[in-house]
Structure formats: C-alpha cells, structure tokens
Structure 1
C-alpha cells in the first residue's frame, strides 16, 4: 500500500486513484479507493468528486465508482490510427478463419491488445481490448519480444518471468532459444501459456509506430480451442497475407524509416 505522503503532487495522487481501478477494479467504494491509492479519505473524496464531475469516474446506484465514459473515450485515441487502419483486415482475418482474431502492440514489458474480433467457438479468454499480458506468455507477445533489440530481450529475460499457468515458458535459457527460432521462422505459437484450454498463433508486423527501423512493433494473431493445436499452422497463409496487407497500408511511413514490407531483415 502506498503512503499518504503530503509531498506528492496533484498529478501523482490522481494517477494513484486510476491505478487503484487498474489493480483492483472495476467497481470500488470511496473507502477502497483511499485504501488502494494510499491517500487520506478526505483527499480521495475531493479528487474522486472532481474526476466524477469531469466524467473520468462514474458512480452507480450503490455508491461505488467505476471508470467513466469520458476517460474511456479519451483512451480510444491511443493507437487509434493503427486500430482504425487495421480493423478491416482483422475482420478479413476473422472471416477467413472463423477464429478469434486480435491486434497487439508492446507496452513496456507487456503486450497490449488494441483490437479483437471474437469467434463463435468457446475459447477461454485471457484478455480483452485494452487488456495486458506478459510478453512471454502469449503468441503475439513472443512475436513482439522476438523482434525487439537484443539489449531489450536480454533485460526482459533477466527479469521475473511470471507463470500464468503450469504451461507458461519461464526458463530464460529455453525462452531465449525459442525467441531466436521465432525470429527465424516469422511466427510464434503458444499452448495454454496464458489460459488453459486455449492455444494461439501470431505473426509480426512492421507498421512504423516506433523510430527504430526493422523492429517489430505490432502483431496479429488467432486464439483457438486447444483441440486445434496440431493444426494451428494451417492458419499461417491467412495470417501472413493479412499482415502484409496491413503493412502495405502503412507503406508511406515505412519508407521514411528506411524499410519496406518486403525487407526480410525486419524479423531479425
């Protein structure tokens, strides 16, 4: 729990309120917000009231608070260009495969799901749009990690590798070898590593979000029931074709970065 340090800035106190919802939401009482944010109840009451008036928080009939629609609308601007430009292609991927399809980027040490279209099959859901998971526990995350600079991969593997299920790959030496293989073959798979009963496959994309040429900065993938594990790679042609179409949609910016969608070094 954080301490109620009177020297904290106004911004840090607001961030602490939002972090309370990120870690313990979606519905919290005023007392819970104060407890989880480490703020005095009087300070919490004032901040929450102002956030509610602005629309960042909303209060239900039982007096509990949740993230408000205005904050959600503001958050939609994050990665909007990538999401909106990719949406028709993600829909095509879903139509071609019938499987849950998603688009993801790296945010720190986590994979952030930017868009997702759910299939009709019953598949355990590990995340949602706007949700995050460790890079090493998902196919899209592994693709993003494999396409990063070596110093970042080394630093990530030297940190704590959280095990989400008994099948999550957490041995740093074995994971390093797996990342090398992913970079070489151009795709990644994960079986029950984020959620038991589900498997996934993903391919990388270079769409120019960052400023470093040839660094993978987005990925698209499919989530399937575990009984499709042996046939996952049958979806590779569709995944790779859709990935190239999305990359071509960003071609002008790719050119300014000194790489093209046909550059084989983008995965290395």
Structure 2
C-alpha cells in the first residue's frame, strides 16, 4: 500500500507495513530472510529491519540463529482466538449445509503449508466422518486443501508444492506436482474441489473456497463414498458455493 493510499484509507503506514511483513513471512512458510522480505515487499531493507525489530520485541517475530526471521510465539494465542471466532461464525452455515446434505460439514483455513479445521458439524448418520477441530491435514490430498490452493497465485502454488512432501495417504493420493497443478487449474474453472479416497479410503469430500475471506479458507462436506456419490451434484455444488459466499459476507461484515 502506498503512502497516499494509506492516508486515503485513514490507516497508519507503519502498521500496514508491519502486518504486510507478517503476511509475507507466513506466505514463505513461516520463515524468511531479510532479502526475501525486501524483494517481496519492495521496501528498503533498513525500513524492514526497523519494523522487524519492533515485531521481535513484541514477540510476533523471532530471529533464528541463521538470521532468518520466523513467526513468533505471541501469534499463537491470537491465532487460536481467531480460529475460535471463525468457527463460531461458521457454525450456523455449517449446520444448514449439514441439514441440507445429511453429511458432515467442515471449515478449514490455510495454516503454513497445511490446512487446519476450525469448525465442524457432524452428520446425523451412524456412519459418518469425524475430524477433530484443530486437526491439520495436507493440501495435496484433501478437498479443502486443494480448494484453498486454487485461491493462490500460480507462483505461490509452485512455491508450496516445492516445499511440501506429497506423501501418499492412500493408493489414490496424487503425488505428482504436475498433476496437482493441472487439477488446481480445473478447480479454478469449476469452482469446487474433491477428494475421492485420497486422504482416507472409502471417504469422499467436496469443497469450495470461501471467497474474499479474511484468510484463505474453504468449506466442505464429507462422508462415505457410496452415500456421498449418490448426492445430486447439480444441487450440492451450488449449495456449497452459496454457503461459502454467505459465510464470507458474515466474516467481512463491518470490516
């Protein structure tokens, strides 16, 4: 954000820049060098160094012995509180999604190179999916993970895929980065992602990204393959997208 834009928005430039640095460190996987931050932000290194010293003194950034900068422990409490707030906001939407589909509904947000579940409303069926809130899962083999990846710029997707180990969770897990990139392109076109036994045998999930959310996030439904495969996709996919859009409005209300 330029100084003129900051003044026009009523913001404080140094605060905007400090938050931008935190976001850039997070985008880099939680750790970055001074030169990387300078290149990504376009700010002079002395300015970045001054801001980082302030963030370090507050516990929001930590300097490693390697002189790389990583996210600090003070952010943990903020993140946990934010996750609870996001989960509470999502619950009415997830409940409606569960009631209309009969399947477990979930919300997950991007956290480093994985996604973490922040809310869930379980299916009423005896045989159902249950994912613990707070559980972290991989991006390449989950519908929520792939839906979130599809919201990122291609260059950022490439950086993430170069960092992660695309371990096979089942015989259906895609472990080829080129295949994942092609699927992400398709997800961007279709507006939804799916996981067909890629994370867990016998489980099928559909997910849609939450547009313009304060953080990269997605909603999903999940359940036994046989039952989920019998759902009407012409109804389910628009329902997922509409629910994600409605939740985005709630999250951004008053922002």
Place the TM-score, normalised by the shorter chain, in its bin.
Answer: 0.5 to 0.7
Contact 1:139 1:221 survives alignment (8 Å): yes
1:200 to 205, 208, 213: 205
Q: Alignment partner of 1:193: what SS?
A: coil
User: Any conservation in 1 of the 2:143–2:206 contact (CA below 8 Å)?
Assistant: yes
> In structure 1, what is the Cα distance between the partners aligned to 2:189 and 2:114?
22
Contact 2:141 2:198 in 1 (8 A): yes
* Residues 1:85 and 1:94: Cα distance change in structure 2 (over 3 Å): same
Which residue number corresponds to residue 222 of structure 1? 221
1:237 and 2:241 matched: no
Is the 2:214–2:252 contact (alpha carbons within 8 Å) kept by the matching residues of 1?
A: no
Superimposed CA distance per residue, residues 99-138 of structure 1 (whole angstroms, 9 cap, x where no aligned partner): 000001010111100001111331354x321001101111
Shift of 1:231: 3.7
**CA contact 2:169–2:200 (8 Å) conserved in 1:** yes
- Aligned residues: CA RMSD: 2.2
- Tell me which residue corresponds to 2:96: 92
Q: Distance in 2 between matches of 1:248 and 1:124?
A: 27
Where does residue 246 of structure 1 map in the other structure?
Answer: 247
Ranges of 4+ aligned residues in structure 1 off by more than 4 Å: 73-76
Return the alpha-carbon distance in structure 1 between the equivalents of residues 99 and 189 of structure 2.
28
| Counterpart mapping for 1:23-172 below 5 A | 77-121=81-125, 122-123=127-128, 125=130, 127-159=131-163, 160-172=165-177
The 1-side partners of 2:104 and 2:133 are apart by 12
1:10-31 alpha-carbon deviations (Å, 9 max, x no partner): xxxxxxxxxxxxxxxxxxxxxx
Q: How many residues align?
A: 175
Q: Distance in 1 between matches of 2:184 and 2:78?
A: 35
CA contact (8 A) 1:200 1:232 kept: no
Could you tell me which runs of 5 or more consecutive residues in structure 2 were left unpaired when the two chains were aligned.
Answer: 1-76
Q: TM-score, normalised by structure 2?
A: 0.63
Cα distance between partner residues in 1 of 2:151 and 2:218: 10
Q: What residue in structure 2 maps to residue 189 of structure 1? A: 194
Question: What TM-score do you get using the length of structure 1 for normalisation?
Answer: 0.60
